Structure 1
């Protein structure tokens, strides 16, 4: 099955099917297009020579930290191609980004033949992925497929490695928007709440990592994508929490309500810790220890939220904040308790 891995780029989610031609003889095609030597162009900018060893062609192409910079991505891509890292499983490194730049004519004249060559030089693609990718580029070159959207390596992903890499692109682009939202929140905060907000963000990141690594099944080839997806969901929930707490848009709650919810959460948590399924799990599966680490990180996050809310939203009762946080955590724990995997 093929999937389009970059939801924010392609407007679809993982799992969407596409119908580009397959090139069953892709190995012969690749042998032909890579047979002749290819000299790198002389690119003297925009990056300085001392910047090239640390350049990030993927980040420059997609614009994770600002606007996309095709000229810098081109220069970085060529430098990376000249400095291969054969043990680094990065589908975008060097030839990968060059494939997209030349296929789309970004920062350089469109050249499908060169795009094909660079696609063939990307050695981490699975054979089925190469069938699709080479067929895709040939169809674009020969006018058999309309170029209705930019060509992307993630259009033809089939492997767990590609799933993870493409989910990282999706989350990288989403993170840029999330960062903008967080910065906007910080600017509106009273000065007394800004230090608490920084501590809250640190605690949130720690919990995201603990849950994505400890409460997500990482046994399959798509484990990197699944972990990144969960981190993304938690980051989005964090943004929602900021908006709802700022508006006071959370259910009313009393101290007894908090005590009851806390007891329910602890009961579910103890059940998970005593579950033979999680006590005996290993090899990337969710374990009792992973759940324990995530719970400890959540407790620190809860405390950070309460401290922040007291300063940022003084009119919002602590009970309402704590109850809402417990409800969300209780849902996560109950999902683990009901999981059949």
Structure 2
């Protein structure tokens, strides 16, 4: 009803020469005011011009102002129907490519507006136009989707639908064809995948793959992480990988705890807990994981180092002893390098996009390294008492010296 009311309101004046001239004058004045940072005054004139069916006015209202979602989509739609290229791009995103909603994603509306806009302005060009239109048509071919009926039939928890990748998580579950989704076919799966997009590049790949599986009648299991291209998506998948890895580590830890030699099982849990705290802090404060995928890279590094720690204990329990040097004074070397790192970082922290290594972070990490060292030495010595605690301490200190040396020698 809101869209219909807006449509009536904004089409009071038909497009004629007098209206066009008046709208043009209003746009000129509005642009001048906007450039003078008089945005509220400019908005009033844009609204008047939009009521005269001015395409640019509709676009500027949607693009330059924080409007309610329905109003913004309406203005982009009006401009897109007239063949406004930029408005069409945004309209397709909001109506479909980034809608990420079983209720709001509408490939039928997207295709209809595109075809009318293209007819009004055949010269209109969009980024990856052919690929975008192809994907929209694939979604349309799967037929109408009744979101309310779907929610009721499959007992969907609507309270979780606002979460990122929520629709695609449902598609993942549905693609396994188990439990409540035992009767799902690839057509319904395509309808779900088509409505779960938040990143156009991800959505296009996912729809294309699911569409082909539907047409070729393939057995198909959807996996979100096969399609992510964004930094957020990589972070999302890295966190899932971390959760899976933590579950595997917990199983390995339980097996170790039952089979550790020399009664050393009592030291295992405190040692792993201290190691996990140290490694997580080190990853985020010392490794400079920058860039749009920083969360994914940092999480992957953390998972790798946790696995290596557990592998060390497993190997030692199986008789594989690392090369542990004779006793030597590594404490003095460590203090010298540690202080050198702090001096360097106080002068100039290491920086990258979304990341920084500074003196406070290194100091915080070093404080956690000490309980990590002590707990790990206690475990390793209990497992191999023929190697003294001092030798184990020096061995672990050597690893820390290598880590800090990397920071000390890092060139920006």
**TM-score normalised according to structure 2 size:** 0.59
* Corresponding residue for residue 146 of structure 2: 37
* Corresponding residue for residue 83 of structure 1: 159
> Separation in 1 of the partners of 2:241 and 2:354?
27
Deviation at 1:225, TM superposition (A): 0.6
- Which of 318, 337, 344 is the equivalent residue of 1:268? 337
SS in 1 for 2:357: coil
In the TM superposition, 1:5-16 aligns within 5 A as: none
Q: Structure 1's 283 and 127: CA in aligned 2 closer, same or farther, altered over 3 A? A: closer
- Aligned partners of 1:96 and 1:122 also within 8 Å: yes
> Separation in 2 of the partners of 1:34 and 1:83?
26
- Aligned partners of 2:138 and 2:211 also within 8 Å: no
Which ranges in structure 2 are unaligned for 5 or more consecutive residues?
1-130
SS in 1 for 2:355: coil
Deviation at 1:24, TM superposition (A): 4.7
Deviation at 1:133, TM superposition (A): 0.8
- Which of 281, 286, 310 is the equivalent residue of 2:357? 286
- Aligned partners of 1:200 and 1:301 also within 8 Å: yes
Q: Structure 1's 127 and 280: CA in aligned 2 closer, same or farther, altered over 3 A? A: closer
SS in 2 for 1:151: coil
Any idea what the Cα deviations from partners look like across 1:161-197, whole Å, max 9, x if unmatched? Answer: 1111112232333323222221111112369534322
> Separation in 1 of the partners of 2:143 and 2:332?
65
* Corresponding residue for residue 242 of structure 1: 313
Deviation at 1:157, TM superposition (A): 1.1
> Separation in 1 of the partners of 2:173 and 2:351?
48
Aligned residues: 277
* Corresponding residue for residue 20 of structure 2: none
SS in 1 for 2:322: coil
- Which of 175, 189, 192 is the equivalent residue of 2:260? 189
Q: Structure 1's 32 and 150: CA in aligned 2 closer, same or farther, altered over 3 A? A: closer
Once the two structures are overlaid, the 10-residue window that deviates more, 221-230 or 189-198, is 189-198
* Corresponding residue for residue 227 of structure 2: 156
Deviation at 1:304, TM superposition (A): 0.7
State which structure, 1 or 2, has the greater radius of gyration over its C-alpha atoms.
2
* Corresponding residue for residue 105 of structure 1: 177
In the TM superposition, 1:63-78 aligns within 5 A as: 78=155
- Which of 353, 366, 375 is the equivalent residue of 1:295? 366
Any idea what the Cα deviations from partners look like across 1:109-131, whole Å, max 9, x if unmatched? Answer: 351222122223325x3111111
In the TM superposition, 1:1-341 aligns within 5 A as: 24-27=133-136, 29-30=138-139, 35-38=144-147, 39-40=149-150, 78-80=155-157, 82-86=158-162, 88-89=163-164, 91=165, 93=166, 95-107=167-179, 108-123=182-197, 125-143=198-216, 150-189=221-260, 193-246=264-317, 247=319, 249-256=321-328, 259=329, 261-275=330-344, 276-278=347-349, 284-340=355-411
> Separation in 1 of the partners of 2:321 and 2:368?
25
* Corresponding residue for residue 126 of structure 2: none
Deviation at 1:41, TM superposition (A): 6.9
SS in 1 for 2:385: coil
Structure number with the higher helix fraction is: 2
- Aligned partners of 1:23 and 1:132 also within 8 Å: no
> Separation in 2 of the partners of 1:248 and 1:28?
59
SS in 2 for 1:315: coil
Any idea what the Cα deviations from partners look like across 1:177-236, whole Å, max 9, x if unmatched? Answer: 222221111112369534322211221121122112212324422121112111112112
Q: Structure 1's 269 and 137: CA in aligned 2 closer, same or farther, altered over 3 A? A: same
> Separation in 2 of the partners of 1:340 and 1:85?
46
Q: Structure 1's 158 and 309: CA in aligned 2 closer, same or farther, altered over 3 A? A: same
